[in-house]
Amino acid sequence: MSDLHALPKDFIEELKALFGDRFSIAPAVLEHHGRDESSYPTLPPQAVVFANSTEEVAMLVKLCSLYEVPVIPFGAGTSLEGHVLPIQGGVCLDLNNMNQVLSIHPEDMLAVVQPAVRRKQLNAELKDTGYFFPVDPGADATLGGMCATRASGTNAVRYGTMRENVLALTVVAASGEIIKTGTQAKKSSAGYDLTRLFVGSEGTLGIITEITLKIYPHPEDIAAAICSFANVTEAVNAVIEVIQAGIPVARVELVDELAIRAINQYSKLSLIEKPTLFFEFVGSAQSLKEQAEFAQEIAKNNGGLDFEWATRPEDRARLWHARHNAYFACLQLQPGCRIINTDVCVPISKLAQCISETRQELDASWLKAPILGHVGDGNYHVLLAIDPNNPADLEEAERLNSGIVHRALQLGGTCTGEHGVGIHKMNFLVDEHGEGAIELMRSIKKALDPKNILNPGKIFKI
């Protein structure tokens, strides 16, 4: 970054002519577009452009291609892995003006949105239709960003991730050409799956400008349950049996004993300070009763210490209150701290071993490190609390993260379940896939973006 060239003057003049006051090099604007939720220092882009349409994105990308200037798409800025940092300089493409829900198709269970629509906004606009969009990462991210990182969240165990919930995309390719990757048909065998190639490509293969998403009817009824266990192994075994039994679990989250302690302190509760499962079941009122009874029996057989369940909205909210506040509660374990969030995912049969060994390693460290898990998917997060002013804390967090990742890889898992690679996990990616698969990804990148202008320097080295 130290020897970045200034942007070509002609390029700047053309951008000004095309975008007027939607082109900016004001320091405050650059600053705002140079950070995300990762622990990296702010790194401002050289310019910011606010595009209003797919056609404008195409114009910008054509210019960036002509002048060989990097272009980095930007939405909510909630990346945890440095995805939006312009590490090779260039123009930040702010897509936040493209924030319209374009159409809702209840009969086809689809919605078409612009990339900067946020997930909560989409659900607000769906509210009166009887449908909802289930993918729910922690942040109120943009749907374009969620596509780019193949995001998921607590509902993935039932509804899948962005991988399963994007039907088609409009994408601006590195040439500036506008591509549609699919139709509104629910399934297709018509050629390469371009949709899923762009989902998870982190802005390195094209700029997503329109998204066709699956939407789902609200479940007839919902039940919530919580149950604590003597240890993580028993809790995970209960989850495996519940899923194997075919009980329709919408969510099942694990909160470990340190996180429960944080919640008790934060919310003045007196939950048993043991690994605890938070369940949500969906179905008809009658079937929910059957399911909850069956789940309770399974929990009990696996050493569940209690099992509380509820169907009335206010009772469900009370049960899940602790989980919903877990992140903020964990932040308060060490006031003023910053969180480094790990994101491994393993086959569920290996999850108990993986978390137990990780917990042991964490307990030997001075960092406070509660664990939250999307346990139905085998995905868990360690919230490594660091003092942002203490470099030793950051180093220790990275050491622990590296151990957590390599343990997951050894157990047949992945270095990232839902946050993506960005610049933070590039080395882990090679360990996970091997050089052959990375070379294959690299050759796709080179074929689709021969000048390396699309969010360069992310996922893998060129």
Query: Is 57 a binder of a second copy (CB under 8 A)?
Result: no
Query: Is 222 a binder of a second copy (CB under 8 A)?
Result: no
Query: Is 461 a binder of a second copy (CB under 8 A)?
Result: no
**Considering CB under 8 A, how many residues would be counted as binding a second copy?**
93
The tokens for 287 are 């079937």
DSSP bridge partners of 223: 281
Cβ closest to a second copy, residue 150 vs residue 251: 150
In the complex, what is the shortest distance from the CB of residue 352 to a second copy, in angstroms, rounded to a whole number?
Answer: 10
Q: Give the residue from 379, 155, 415 showing the smallest Cα distance to 371.
A: 379
Contact with a second copy (CB under 8 A) among 185, 317, 392, 462: 185
Cβ closest to a second copy, residue 93 vs residue 459: 459
In Å, how far are 107, 124, 223, 460 from 146, measured between CA atoms? 24, 17, 28, 19
The residues, ordered by sequence, that sit 6+ positions from 102 with a Cβ below 8 Å of its Cβ are 112, 113, 114, 210
| Per-position DSSP letters for 397-431, written without gaps between them | HHHHHHHHHHHHHHTT-BS-SSS--TTTSHHHHHH
Query: Is 399 a binder of a second copy (CB under 8 A)?
Result: no
Cα–Cα distance for residue pair 414/425, rounded to 1 Å: 11
Contact with a second copy (CB under 8 A) among 119, 425, 453, 457: 425
Q: Give the residue from 225, 224, 229, 217 showing the smallest Cα distance to 256.
A: 229
Query: Is 107 a binder of a second copy (CB under 8 A)?
Result: yes
Residue 211 and residue 300 in contact, taking contact as beta carbons nearer than 8 Å: no
Contact with a second copy (CB under 8 A) among 51, 59, 143, 173: 173
Query: Is 181 a binder of a second copy (CB under 8 A)?
Result: yes
Cβ closest to a second copy, residue 244 vs residue 301: 244
Stretch that binds a second copy, among 44-52, 255-263, 281-289, 384-392 (CB under 8 A): 281-289
**Interface with a second copy in residues 246-275 (CB under 8 A):** 246
In the complex, what is the shortest distance from the CB of residue 310 to a second copy, in angstroms, rounded to a whole number?
Answer: 20
Element (H, E) at 432: helix 426-433
Contact with a second copy (CB under 8 A) among 73, 144, 413, 456: 413
φ, ψ of residue 211 in degrees (nearest 5):
-135, 130
Query: Is 244 a binder of a second copy (CB under 8 A)?
Result: yes
What's the angle, vertex CA 386, arms to CA 382 and CA 392, rounded to 5?
115
Burial readout 285-296 (b: 16 or more C-beta within 10 A, e: otherwise):
eebbbebbebbb
Query: Is 406 a binder of a second copy (CB under 8 A)?
Result: no
Cβ closest to a second copy, residue 10 vs residue 293: 293
Stretch that binds a second copy, among 3-11, 19-27, 309-317, 376-384 (CB under 8 A): 376-384
Contact with a second copy (CB under 8 A) among 24, 79, 161, 342: 161
In Å, how far are 74, 87, 327, 330, 362 from 368, measured between CA atoms? 32, 31, 13, 9, 8
Binding mask 197-216 toward a second copy (x if CB under 8 A, else -) reads x-xxx---x-----------
The number of beta carbons lying within 10 Å of the beta carbon of residue 248 is: 16
In the complex, what is the shortest distance from the CB of residue 111 to a second copy, in angstroms, rounded to a whole number?
Answer: 13
Query: Is 103 a binder of a second copy (CB under 8 A)?
Result: no
The residues, ordered by sequence, that sit 6+ positions from 301 with a Cβ below 8 Å of its Cβ are 238, 241
The tokens for 318 are 């009370």
Residue 440 and residue 160 in contact, taking contact as beta carbons nearer than 8 Å: no
**Interface with a second copy in residues 9-38 (CB under 8 A):** none
Stretch that binds a second copy, among 15-23, 39-47, 186-194, 265-273 (CB under 8 A): 186-194
Query: Is 420 a binder of a second copy (CB under 8 A)?
Result: yes
The tokens for 30 are 């650059």
In the complex, what is the shortest distance from the CB of residue 199 to a second copy, in angstroms, rounded to a whole number?
Answer: 7
Query: Is 348 a binder of a second copy (CB under 8 A)?
Result: yes
AA identity, residue 173: A
Cβ closest to a second copy, residue 2 vs residue 189: 189
Contact with a second copy (CB under 8 A) among 31, 55, 220, 395: 220
Q: Dmax over Cα atoms in the chain, in whole Å? A: 72
Contact with a second copy (CB under 8 A) among 57, 346, 369, 384: 346
In the complex, what is the shortest distance from the CB of residue 187 to a second copy, in angstroms, rounded to a whole number?
Answer: 5
In the complex, what is the shortest distance from the CB of residue 129 to a second copy, in angstroms, rounded to a whole number?
Answer: 10
**Interface with a second copy in residues 115-144 (CB under 8 A):** 130
The tokens for 44 are 């401002």
- Number of helices and strands in the chain (H, E): 17, 18
Cβ closest to a second copy, residue 202 vs residue 257: 202
**Interface with a second copy in residues 438-457 (CB under 8 A):** 438, 440-441, 443-444, 446-448
Contact with a second copy (CB under 8 A) among 58, 151, 339, 382: 151
